[in-house]
A and B are shown apart, each in its own frame.
Chain A
Amino acid sequence: MVRALADRAFLPTKSVLEQVGDMMILTGKTIWSALRPPYPYGGEFVNQFLFALRLCWLPLLISTLAISYGAPGLQAGNFLVLFGALDRLGGFFVLTSIREFGPSVTAIILAGVAGTAITADLGARKIREELDALQVLGVDPVKNLVVPRFLALMIVTALFDIYAIIFGIVGGMLATMSFGAPLGPFFSTLLTNASVTDLWGSVAKTTIYGAIIAIVACYKGMTASGGAEGVGRSVNQGVVITFLGIFAFNYVFTQTLLATHPEISIIK
């Protein structure tokens, strides 16, 4: 009785901890085999890079434009209009577009679009036993499949962050114009408040988001099992784990950045 109860409580926890541990081991292996020669993953890297770029550009464009027009643009704009200080919206967009929403939306789109595609692709290969066949041929799946995806997703996510920031600011411009205000003050407060720390913080954050997405997607794809529902279920679990990982990492990173660089939270 007690045994059964303990099993029910601890087995799920144990399996979660085991999976997290496995992902950490995969991260270590990936970094190690990325740095150690030989480097056979050049072609696959370019393919994966273009694949992510092709798949994500339109969803990201629509999403960043929509979210920054709605959430920070209209809501914060409404609040500032009450005080007659709509020109401050530009300063607010440093906080939202560069520090928070830009990176988060980029990560969510990349996880939902590119991450799921990677899990489905690797899961399909696992189910068809192609991964085992590769190993029999003496080809290391980590070096030839995981490493290029890991590097490509890190770089693509960081680059897409810049793109998300640009379209986020366009959303802010649309919101400003919908209030009938001129754009000059928007840009002047935006540029006074923006700092290099914000930008590198944003890019560094998204680079690590990319790494999280790639590792979780590859891990879930390479461990897919269980017949017809298997690949679908590993895509499902993979995307949930990625989102939770991204939110958790965002919390830690934002706190650390704000605590170590107090000058960026001062509104000029």
Chain B
Amino acid sequence: MTWLTVPRDWIASFGEIAKFCGRVIALVWSGRVFVFFGEALRQAGILILGLQCGIEGAYFSRSVGAPANAGVFSAWCDLREIIPYAFGYMMAAKVGTGLVAEIGAMRISDEIDALEVMGISSMTFLCATRLLAAWMVLPFVYIAAIGAGFLASYIAVVQQIGEVSSGGFFLIFWMFQNPPDLLYSLIKGMAMATLIVLVGAYYGYTASGGPVGVGTATAKSMVLNVVGVHVVGMLGTQVFWGANPRAPIGG
């Protein structure tokens, strides 16, 4: 029966996670989170610093490694697929697990209970602020990441392989994308980011069992995150580009 442990665990925790997510999102919407705006800004700063480095490095290698041959391939492959996925992976690895480790450590050292005793709503202070911070900062980080991915494709296609001139590359490259594509890509990335922050906050907030428990919770959050990133990516592609290639040729 052990082979079915993973799916059964998922179904069991799915309801819990859904309830938790609903509460956190409701806290952000209700505006009570703005009481802790300072904390949100601090979280945002950490997110920028922690993310920029890891993400930039990942894109660089990932996009260059993809055997891109022409502008259209880089435009579609980068903007629509690879950058959201790479963003999701690095977010899950860097931010998702970081959140579990941080909030989990607070939970097992009873800091969360201490917050409650002091009359501060711990869920608003810890989870809702982080979600708000993610929504405030990550769009900009995501756009920077797209820039890094485009630069990497340019280097790979024009400088390294050298089969197409710089002008020829950019002509095709900009012809095959337009602002709505960027918006859709951003929506995809933000959906992944929201999922990852919520899953990370859930596993951290409900961690138990000492330092070991925090480690286990971190590992568990990663399982759900990598699968979630792929599923969100597929749904996004299906919804945004499934029936409409949005290309400047054909009917």
Contact = CB atoms under 8 A, between A and B. Distances in A.
B67 interface: yes
Interface string A51-95: 000110111001100110111001100110111000000000001
Given A63-B230, A244-B58, A74 B215 contact: no
- In the complex, which of the residues A239, A254, A265 has the most CB atoms of chain B within 10 Å of its own CB atom? A239
B97 A228 contact: no
Interface residues of A, number: 59
A3 B27 CA distance: 47
Contact of B97 (A55, A105, A116): A116
Contacts of B236: 70
B65 interface: yes
A74 B244 CA distance: 10
Contact of A112 (B102, B217, B226, B231): B226
B220 to A, nearest CB: 8
Interface string A109-143: 10011001101100110011000000000000000
A263 interface: no
Report, as a range, how many residues of chain B touch the other chain. Answer: 35 or more
Given A54-B6, A100-B66, A251-B64, A229 B214 contact: yes
B97 A235 contact: yes
Contacts of A66: 230-231, 233-234
Contacts of B92: 112
Contacts of A243: 58, 89-90, 93
Contacts of A109: 226
Contacts of B114: none
A54 B2 contact: yes
Nearest to B98: A236
Contacts of A108: 89, 226
Contacts of A70: 81, 233-238
Interface string A223-236: 01001111111111
Given A78-B245, A81-B245, A250-B61, A67 B214 contact: no
Contacts of A124: 211-212, 215-216
Nearest first, the 3 A-B pairs at minimum CB distance are A232-B101, A231-B215, A78-B245
25 contacts: A54-B5, A59-B226, A66-B231, A66-B234, A67-B233, A67-B234, A69-B234, A71-B81, A75-B76, A75-B80, A78-B245, A99-B67, A117-B219, A120-B218, A124-B212, A124-B216, A228-B105, A228-B108, A230-B211, A231-B101, A232-B102, A232-B215, A233-B101, A250-B61, A254-B67
Interface of A: 54-55, 57-59, 62-63, 66-67, 69-71, 74-75, 78-79, 81-83, 95, 99-100, 105, 108-109, 112-113, 116-117, 119-120, 123-124, 127-128, 178, 224, 227-236, 239-240, 243-244, 247-248, 250-251, 254-255, 258, 265
Interface of B: 2-3, 5-7, 54, 57-58, 61-62, 64-67, 72, 76-77, 80-82, 85, 89-90, 92-94, 97-98, 100-102, 104-105, 108-109, 210-212, 214-219, 222-223, 225-227, 230-231, 233-238, 241-242, 244-245, 247, 249-250
